[in-house]
Amino acid sequence: MAPDTVIVAGDEASLYLQATVQVVWAAKGQTPVVKVDPGRDNVHFYAALNLQSGQEIVMRSHIMKSVTSVLFLLKLVLAYPNQKILLLWDRAPWHQGPALRDFLATHPQLEIFYFPPASPDLNPQEHVWKDARDQISHNHSINKLTELADKFEDHLTSNTFPCPLLQQHAYNQICAMFT
């Protein structure tokens, strides 16, 4: 792997209109009201965290299938057109299949490293989802899913999310040996 390789950690998250309730401060005797939405409408987000810059590549989808994963990989390749990309990804069923294998065969600049099974704690993207949920979808009072999804996506794309993973493993020192 060359020092100019972009390393990203990818994952997906589902967003529901139903607010998740978290601890919140309120004046004594004025219990905050969080409305309950009985529907199960949702939207999914594919995202990849650039471990060097902390920036996110984000795509919305109404389904999570291997063909949708291929669309996200295309977005990733287009975001870094002249660079090699190492994608750290979990082993979700929609990250496999013929469509994905065909895409990888025609895009040799993209390599996927799969996390061990059942190890979300290793994926830095999980911290980004937590931050976005804390800031946007917990205790919200938005009553339209599209508005909530817009705010969620805006939070992901307008913020950077520093990740210490590469520094913890002396990435910069190792790369310096190759330049």
Distance CA 122, CA 129 (A): 14
**Contacts of residue 125, Cβ cutoff 8 Å, sequence gap at least 6:** 9, 10, 11, 47, 48, 49
d(CA 18, CA 140): 9
Residue 16 phi/psi, 5° resolution?
-115, 155
pLDDT > 90 fraction of the chain, expressed in percent and rounded: 63
- Residue 26 resides in a domain: no
Average pLDDT score, the chain? 85
Model pLDDT, residue 168:
58
On whether residue 62 sits in a domain, the answer given is yes
**pLDDT band of 175, cuts 50, 70, 90:** very low
> Does pLDDT of 142 surpass 90?
no
In a domain? residue 170: yes
Number of domains into which the chain is organized: 1
CATH number at residue 42: 3.30.420.10
User: Would the pTM count as exceeding 0.85?
Assistant: no
Please indicate, yes or no, if residue 64 is contained in any of the structural domains.
Answer: yes
1 belongs to a structural domain:
no
| Mean pLDDT to the nearest integer, 148-174 | 79
**Range of the structural domain that residue 170 is part of:** 6-20+31-176
80 assigned to some structural domain? yes
**Residue 25 domain-assigned?**
no
